[in-house]
Chains A and B, each alone.
Chain A
Amino acid sequence: MDIKDVPQDKRETTHASDIKKLMYAVGKDGQYTGVNYEGWEPENIVLAQTWEDIDENLKLVLAQVKAGELSPIAYFMHKSLMDTTLLASYAGKWKWQVKRHFKPSVFNSLSADMLEKYARIFNITVDELKNFGKGK
C-alpha cells in the first residue's frame, strides 16, 4: 500500500478508542516505512458492531436481572465480556456451577467466600454485587 492511501478514518465508537496505530506502507521512493493512522473504515465498522452487539445483549440481561429472572452474576459476566467458560475458569468452578449461580435463588444462598471471589473477578465490591438491580 502507498503511503498516500493509508486511511485516516476517525473512529466513532461509544467506547473510548483513541489510539493511532502504526502500519507499514510504501513511500514515493518505493521504501517501506511506518505510518500512524487514525483508523480504517472496515475496522471501525467491525469494532462499532462488536460493541453494539455487546451493549444490546447487556441491556437484555439487565432487564432479566431486574425482573428477577437472572442473578447479578449474569450481568457482570457480560459486562466483563466473559462467557461461562471463561468465568468458570476464573471462579475455579465447573461451567454448570456458574450457570446455576445465574439463578437468583441459588445466588441468594451463595457463601460469603464465593461472593467475595465473584466480586474480585468483576472488580466490584460484594455490596455492589449483592444489591445490583435492586430498587429503581
Chain B
Amino acid sequence: MSNKEYKHFQHAHCESGVSSNLLKHEGIELSEPMAFGIGAGLFFGHLPFVKINGAPGTTYRIWPGAIVKRVASRLNIKIHSERFRDPAKAMKALDDVLAQGKPVGMLGSVFYLPYLPEAFRFHFNAHNFVAYGKEGRDYLISDPVMEIVTKIAPEDLVKARFAKGTPEPKGFMYYVTETPKEMDMRSAIEKGIKQMCYFMMAPPIPWFGNKGIFLLANQIKNYPRKLEPRRASLYLGNVIRMQEEIGTGGAGFRYLYAAFLQEAGQLLKNDELLKFSEELTKIGDNWRNFAYRAARIMKDRKSELVSYDELSDLLKQCGTDEKALFLRLQKIKL
C-alpha cells in the first residue's frame, strides 16, 4: 500500500486537470495544458437535431475519456479504466483501489455533486473528478475545478456515477497502474497536435470540427427568423453556457491550447509553436468577444435580425481564422 499523500491542484478543465493530477501523484510532472494538448482535447461539434435540456447540443471538447486515454498511450503510461453495469460492483471496485492508496479518476453528473454551488449543478454527465481516499463512509474528493479538496457521501457519489441521460457515465473510473522510465515528449506533442488538427479539419460532415462552427453560425443567423424570441434567447444562452460555463469551452479552451503550444514550444525550442500560440490567443479573444456580444443580446432581450447577423459573422470569423491556423499547424515537423 502506498501512503503517499495526494496533492490537489486546481485546473481550468476537468478531464485534462484530472489527468495532470493523477500523473503528478505518480511523480510525472505533466501540466494541465500539456495533458490537454497531448490528449488532443480541443474539438467542436454542433448537432441541431439532438436536443439537450431543450436546446440543440453543442460541444467544444472531445468525448469524455479520450484525453486520459490518449495521454496514456502517447506517453506509455498504463491506465486501467472500467465501466460498470452494477452500482454496487462499481463502488466496491472503487473502494478496492482506494484501499491500495491509489487515487481514482471518475466520470459523473454535476447535478449529483452537492459540493458544487447549486447554480452550476445541471444534468451535465461528463464531469471528471478524483477520489483519493475515504473518511468514515465519505469519499475524499479532489475536483479540478475547485480550489480545495472536498468530501461526498456514498449515496451522492453513486448517483453521480450512474446518472442517466447523454452520455451515461456508467460508473466509468480510471487509475494509473504503470509509469514509464522515459517518455518521448516530442513525439507525444507532435501526435497530439496532428490529431487535433485532423479531427478539426477532416470530418466530411457538417456537424463536426471546424465545419461545425460555420454550421452553428448559420443556425444562429436563423434563430430570430425561425424561433420565437424566448426560444431564440434560450438556444443562444445554451451555446454560451456550453462555451463558457461548463468546463471553459470556447475561449477558455483556446487559451488552454495556446498555453500548451507555448509550453511545447519552449520545451522543444521551437519558435514556430510560440507564434502559433500567440495567434491562437488572439482567436481566443475573438471567441470571448462572441460570448460577450451574445450575452448582451440576451440581456437586452433583443431579437432583431441585425444583432443575430452580427453575432453569426463574429463566429464565422473565429472559424475562418482557426481554419487558417490549423491548416498550417498540422504540417508542423517537430
Cα(A106)–Cα(B285), bound, Å: 54
**A21-B248, A42-B244, A89-B164 given; A15·B118 CB < 8 A:** yes
**A21-B145, A24-B12 given; A45·B299 CB < 8 A:** yes
* A23, B164: Cβ atoms closer than 8 Å: no
The 8 A CB mask of B227-258 against A (1 = contact, 0 = none) is 00000011001001100110010011001101
Write out the residue numbers on chain B whose beta carbons fall within 8 Å of the beta carbon of A20: 147
CB proximity to A under 8 Å, residues B167-212:
none
CB proximity to B under 8 Å, residues A17-58:
17-26, 31-32, 34, 36, 40-43, 45-47, 49-51, 53
Cα(A43)–Cα(B164), bound, Å: 26
Give the segment of B72-80, B288-296, B317-325, B326-334 that binds chain A.
Answer: B288-296
* B295, A19: Cβ atoms closer than 8 Å: no
Write out the residue numbers on chain B whose beta carbons fall within 8 Å of the beta carbon of A47: 119-120, 241, 245
Write out the residue numbers on chain A whose beta carbons fall within 8 Å of the beta carbon of B66: none
The 8 A CB mask of B271-315 against A (1 = contact, 0 = none) is 000000100010011001001101110110000000000000000
Cα(A86)–Cα(B255), bound, Å: 34
CB proximity to B under 8 Å, residues A69-97:
80-83, 86, 89-90
B117 at the interface (CB under 8 A from A): yes
Write out the residue numbers on chain B whose beta carbons fall within 8 Å of the beta carbon of A50: 237, 241
Write out the residue numbers on chain B whose beta carbons fall within 8 Å of the beta carbon of A90: 164
* A19, B252: Cβ atoms closer than 8 Å: no
Write out the residue numbers on chain A whose beta carbons fall within 8 Å of the beta carbon of B284: 1
Write out the residue numbers on chain A whose beta carbons fall within 8 Å of the beta carbon of B59: none
Main secondary structure of the interface of A (DSSP, over half): mixed
* B117, A32: Cβ atoms closer than 8 Å: no
Write out the residue numbers on chain B whose beta carbons fall within 8 Å of the beta carbon of A26: 281
| A residues contacting the other copy or chain, number (CB 8 A) | 37
* A86, B295: Cβ atoms closer than 8 Å: no
**A19-B145, A24-B33, A32-B259 given; A83·B53 CB < 8 A:** yes
* B234, A53: Cβ atoms closer than 8 Å: yes
How many Å from the CB of B157 to the closest CB on chain A? Answer: 14
Question: Contacting A15 at CB < 8 Å: which of B119, B147, B237, B288?
Answer: B119
A13 at the interface (CB under 8 A from B): yes
* B258, A46: Cβ atoms closer than 8 Å: no
Cα(A42)–Cα(B244), bound, Å: 9
A16 at the interface (CB under 8 A from B): yes
How many Å from the CB of B329 to the closest CB on chain A? Answer: 17
B123 at the interface (CB under 8 A from A): yes
**A25-B255, A86-B123 given; A19·B116 CB < 8 A:** yes
* B120, A19: Cβ atoms closer than 8 Å: yes
A117 at the interface (CB under 8 A from B): no
Main secondary structure of the interface of B (DSSP, over half): helix
How many Å from the CB of B113 to the closest CB on chain A? Answer: 12
Cα(A32)–Cα(B262), bound, Å: 8
B47 at the interface (CB under 8 A from A): no
A11 at the interface (CB under 8 A from B): yes
B146 at the interface (CB under 8 A from A): yes
How many Å from the CB of B79 to the closest CB on chain A? Answer: 24
* B255, A42: Cβ atoms closer than 8 Å: no
**A23-B252, A32-B262, A81-B123 given; A46·B240 CB < 8 A:** yes
Question: Contacting B165 at CB < 8 Å: which of A24, A40, A43, A89?
Answer: A89
B54 at the interface (CB under 8 A from A): yes
How many Å from the CB of B49 to the closest CB on chain A? Answer: 14
How many Å from the CB of B223 to the closest CB on chain A? Answer: 15
* A34, B12: Cβ atoms closer than 8 Å: yes
Question: Contacting A24 at CB < 8 Å: which of B54, B111, B118, B259?
Answer: B259
How many Å from the CB of A120 to the closest CB on chain B? Answer: 10
* B119, A16: Cβ atoms closer than 8 Å: yes
Cα(A27)–Cα(B111), bound, Å: 35
* A1, B281: Cβ atoms closer than 8 Å: yes
Q: Which residues of B contact A (CB under 8 A)?
A: 10-12, 32-33, 53-54, 111, 116-123, 145-147, 164-165, 233-234, 237, 240-241, 244-245, 248, 251-252, 255-256, 258-259, 262-263, 277, 281, 284-285, 288, 291-292, 294-296, 298-299
A24-B255, A83-B53 given; 8 more Cβ-contact pairs under 8 Å: A1-B285, A19-B117, A21-B12, A22-B145, A25-B255, A32-B258, A41-B295, A43-B245
4 tightest Cβ-Cβ pairs between the two chains A and B: A42-B295, A17-B119, A32-B259, A89-B164
